[in-house]
Structure 1
Amino acid sequence: MDVLPTQHVNASQPCVKQAVSLESHCPKSVLGKPLSSNQVSLLALGSGMSVANIYFAQPLLHEFSAAFAVTSAQVGQLISMAQLGSVLALVFLLPLGDRMDRRCLLLIQALALVVMLVLLGLAPSLGWAYAAMLGVGLLATAMTQGLIAYAASVAQPAEQGQVLAKVQAGVFLGLLLARVVAGGVSDIAGWRMVYLSSAACMLLLACLLWRSLARGNGSPAVTISPAVNISQVTGSYPRFIGSMLALLWRHRLLQVRGMLALLMFAVFNIFWSALSLALSAPPYAYSNTAIGALGLVGAIGALGATQAGRWLDKGAHRQVTLIALLLLAIAWWPLAFMSWSLAALMLGIILLDMGGQALHVSNQSLLLRSNAEQQHGSMIGMYMLFYALGSALGAAAGTAVFAHDGWQGVCLLGFSLSALALVFWLATRRALN
């Protein structure tokens, strides 16, 4: 099996300019051989398997309710515990990759995730399930985003966009397949087997990653930026975490791209939270398995968006961003005709997922390329906080608007936020230039 390379910096061959353009980058290291397709596939597989653990519970809530003899409101808090774990991981665990050997850190997190999955699968009460789900959300998020940060660190500048697009496609497929796999395994062997079998798969993944990932943290060995390197902060851990806020405060591109991520993920969750309510009610009355399977249509859009990685490597960030934002807005037109045509719903899902995936990859690629200090973990952690906030607000808004104004109200809200994202980007583009 090939070994993934680390980066090495030759301090005698500096190439960083004092003024770094936010929409372009200068190669900062002399890299080894390009990542092979097998290596990229392993990183994508690992990211997808990790993120799936967070979403297994969504179609299984009624199983939890019956197993622990609790109300649906009580068991619904399992999803909140997973989301809380995700936020904690973005703030406290993901940035550790900028200070530690990422290979060791990922192995520790993978093994800890195996333990949490086993505890969840054997949970004797709802309280145990709450605690285990918090740990699953914490460690699965750290694994997912840590693998993305590693991929960005070891990829050559000429291939970084393509690598990120492929790894992000793995994340998106893992998210979509999680609901279908959980429903199928639960129907055959019960909900506990969903988590116990996932624990076995994650243990195998840990072994594969340990053999494949090179020693070292995947970050440059020598800092060549004249700016302060947050990953080299020598103070206490709280001071290090606080310094991440300084990154957000002074990084204008992070603020803009983070806001685009907030609006985009709000749009996503407005759609998916309301869609499950609409399709589970008459005249559709779809089962949870059928609704989850319908979400697989979005895989077409996610895979189609991988082409955006090649354009990003050619410096076409503006073009990719514009097309992605237009797709997000246009998608709501066929979605509004869902009650007349299932084909219109499928077309809307493809356009929505293609636009969202392309924008997400463009955001991360541009941020990491503009990050002269190579703080990939800190940068992704701060960026994904916008994602978490947007997801929470979108889910709440989607269900509330559907209850009050129905599906057409949801489509109007989704289109309005998509249009707002486009206007926001156009208004801030000149300032960034």
Structure 2
Amino acid sequence: MTIQKHDSEDQSFPKIPPLKTGNLLVYVMAVACGVAVANLYYAQPLLHTLAQGFGTSEGTTGLIVTMTQLGYVIGLTLIVPLGDLLERRRLITIVSSVTAVALAGAAISPGIGSFLFACLVIGFTAVVAQVLVPFAAALAADEQRGAVIGRVMAGLLLGILLARTVSGFIADAYGWRAVFWLATACMLVQSAVLWRMLPQSRGETRLCYPALIRSVFILFREEPLLRRRIVYGTCGFAAFSVFWTSLAFLLARPPYGYSDSVIGLFGLIGAAGALSASFAGQIHDRGGTQPATGILLALVVIAFVIMGVYSTHLTAIIVGVVLLDIGQQGSHILNQSVIYTLNSEARSRITTAYMTCFFFGGVIGSASSGYVFEFGGWPGVTWLGGMFGGIAFLYWLTELRTCHV
């Protein structure tokens, strides 16, 4: 179906002052990103409980993660580019409302089949977070764009890291269905708040929908800086996923022997790293992107070295978690700060190109991590994660020669 072009007068929305880091709207968008993306991760610590509840094998229940990821990739491809075409406030609130319906469907699911379909829709619509990030970039003042993106991304990252912890505690106290009912309520409230607070703003492109999707591939081909930042992001998120997928296996065994609730608390340690990484946006605004990128990618490698050499020491694992999150999340914020300077009319499509590859890296990391742990133990996991981080760092060294930003 072809989406009709809009007349120029449709663009006449009220003007608002450029966003700066202290604006309330920045914090609202940050919270909204976190609430939206958290929907991807609520089920992960509950897989064993869900398998018992639905009477299915763990292998079948593992498809919950796959369906959520599949929905997210489809949403990145089909929904996020619409941020360059449609009125953004309406798009964001409608998609958020659909997420609420899907979460309610998960909460009342009588069997694994309906639950899997609900997870597909949840993943598909959770990409509203990736519409909000370029929207914030478009609204931000030029001199504070990196800092604004950093604040909004901090909210998104906290949603990722805290979702598992919150889900585990709520499920222990009230059952797994309560997790999805609470998430439903959060998305309904979020839709109302965003409709009230977001300004009206239409994307600047006048392409029809099929041409809009094709243009994502054109951007990938024509923007070498986008491709470079995609490599950093894809390898970094692969390393990140390698670690978080296998951490529970390590901590559940001697010498630790921790319960699920205690393991979930490690998300709070990662959250501290994510908050520190939010300062990366300010570094970008001050012109320090290139050296900061190298330092942050090096931190990813160092984290795996520390956790590999001192795997039986809790302090080393905690230090590794903090360094990994600062390195990965900080470089991710720098990547987005850079790519949003490339083409102001195509920020949502640039997000699609970057985040699709970024998330694909996460799929590779998480899928390979479990098998590597099974056959190579924790040393194999740290080698795998360090390899992904090392690839990104070595590629950054070529940037010094080519003098890219």
User: 2:185 maps to which residue?
Assistant: 200
Query: Quick check: 2:339–2:350 contact (8 Å CA) kept in 1?
Result: yes
User: 2:50 maps to which residue?
Assistant: 64
2:55 corresponds to 1:55 = no
Match of 2:143 among 139, 155, 158: 158
* Matched residue SS, 1:281: coil
* Matched residue SS, 2:345: coil
2:390 corresponds to 1:419 = yes
2:111 corresponds to 1:125 = yes
The one-letter amino acid of 2:171's match is S
CA drift of 1:338 comes to: 4.1
2:318 corresponds to 1:346 = yes
Query: Quick check: 2:37–2:129 contact (8 Å CA) kept in 1?
Result: yes
Q: Aligned equivalents of 2:246 and 2:18: distance in 1? A: 46
CA drift of 1:285 comes to: 2.2
CA drift of 1:181 comes to: 0.9
Larger mean CA deviation between 186-195 and 420-429 belongs to 420-429
CA drift of 1:32 comes to: 2.3
User: 2:206 maps to which residue?
Assistant: 232
CA drift of 1:33 comes to: 4.1
2:365 corresponds to 1:394 = yes
Query: Quick check: 1:102–1:216 contact (8 Å CA) kept in 2?
Result: yes
User: 1:375 maps to which residue?
Assistant: 346
CA drift of 1:323 comes to: 1.4
Q: Aligned equivalents of 2:316 and 2:172: distance in 1? A: 30
User: 2:12 maps to which residue?
Assistant: none
Q: Aligned equivalents of 1:406 and 1:183: distance in 2? A: 25
**CA distances 1:79-108 after superposition (whole Å, capped 9, x unpaired):** 100000000011000000100000000011
- The root-mean-square deviation of aligned C-alpha atoms, in Å, is 1.7
Q: Aligned equivalents of 2:227 and 2:18: distance in 1? A: 33
**CA distances 1:235-291 after superposition (whole Å, capped 9, x unpaired):** xx3332122111111111111110111110111111111212111223322222211
CA drift of 1:31 comes to: 7.5
Between the two proteins, what is the percent identity of the paired residues?
A: 36
CA drift of 1:74 comes to: 0.7
Q: Aligned equivalents of 2:19 and 2:214: distance in 1? A: 35
Q: Aligned equivalents of 2:192 and 2:376: distance in 1? A: 50
2:30 corresponds to 1:44 = yes
Counterpart mapping for 1:39-188 below 5 A: 39-140=25-126, 142-188=127-173
Larger mean CA deviation between 161-170 and 338-347 belongs to 338-347
Larger mean CA deviation between 329-338 and 157-166 belongs to 329-338
* Matched residue SS, 2:62: helix
User: 2:295 maps to which residue?
Assistant: 323
Query: Quick check: 2:71–2:123 contact (8 Å CA) kept in 1?
Result: yes
Q: Aligned equivalents of 1:402 and 1:63: distance in 2? A: 23
Contiguous gaps of at least 5 residues in structure 1: 1-29, 222-230
Q: Aligned equivalents of 1:419 and 1:77: distance in 2? A: 30
* Matched residue SS, 1:54: coil
Query: Quick check: 1:337–1:345 contact (8 Å CA) kept in 2?
Result: no
CA drift of 1:432 comes to: 5.6
Q: Aligned equivalents of 1:391 and 1:119: distance in 2? A: 26
The one-letter amino acid of 2:386's match is F
CA drift of 1:70 comes to: 0.8
User: 1:268 maps to which residue?
Assistant: 240
**CA distances 1:382-426 after superposition (whole Å, capped 9, x unpaired):** 101111111111112222222222212222222222222111122
Query: Quick check: 2:39–2:163 contact (8 Å CA) kept in 1?
Result: yes
Q: Aligned equivalents of 2:210 and 2:162: distance in 1? A: 37
Counterpart mapping for 1:205-354 below 5 A: 205-217=190-202, 219=203, 231-234=205-208, 237-354=209-326
2:379 corresponds to 1:408 = yes
Displaced runs of 4 or more, over 4 A: none
User: 2:401 maps to which residue?
Assistant: 430
* Matched residue SS, 1:46: helix
User: 1:227 maps to which residue?
Assistant: none
CA drift of 1:310 comes to: 1.3
Q: Aligned equivalents of 1:62 and 1:416: distance in 2? A: 30
Q: Aligned equivalents of 1:387 and 1:428: distance in 2? A: 20
The one-letter amino acid of 2:115's match is A
* Matched residue SS, 1:336: helix
The one-letter amino acid of 1:342's match is L
* Matched residue SS, 1:192: helix
Q: Aligned equivalents of 1:240 and 1:424: distance in 2? A: 30
Query: Quick check: 1:368–1:374 contact (8 Å CA) kept in 2?
Result: no
The one-letter amino acid of 1:170's match is G
User: 2:3 maps to which residue?
Assistant: none
TM-score with structure 2 length normalisation? 0.92
The one-letter amino acid of 2:317's match is L
Query: Quick check: 2:162–2:271 contact (8 Å CA) kept in 1?
Result: no
User: 1:4 maps to which residue?
Assistant: none
